[in-house]
Amino acid sequence: MTTQTQRNFHLPLPEDIYNDLRVESRRMKQPATRIARQAIENWLKARRRLELHASIANYAEKHSGSDVDIDDALEEIAAEHLINLQ
| Residue-by-residue DSSP string for 26-79 | HHHTS-HHHHHHHHHHHHHHHHHHHHHHHHHHHHHHHHTTSTTSPPHHHHHHHH
End-to-end CA distance of the chain: 44
CA distance 19 to 23: 6
Q: What is the pLDDT along the chain (86 residues), one digit of tens a residue?
A: 678 899 999 999 999 999 999 999 999 999 999 999 999 999 999 999 999 999 999 998 888 888 777 777 888 898 999 999 87
Contact 33, 21 (CB under 8 A): no
| pTM of structure | 0.67
Q: Where are the domains of the chain?
A: 15-85
Q: Which pLDDT does position 1 carry in this prediction?
A: 64
Between the alpha carbon of residue 2 and those of residues 19, 21, 42, the distances in Å are 35, 30, 22
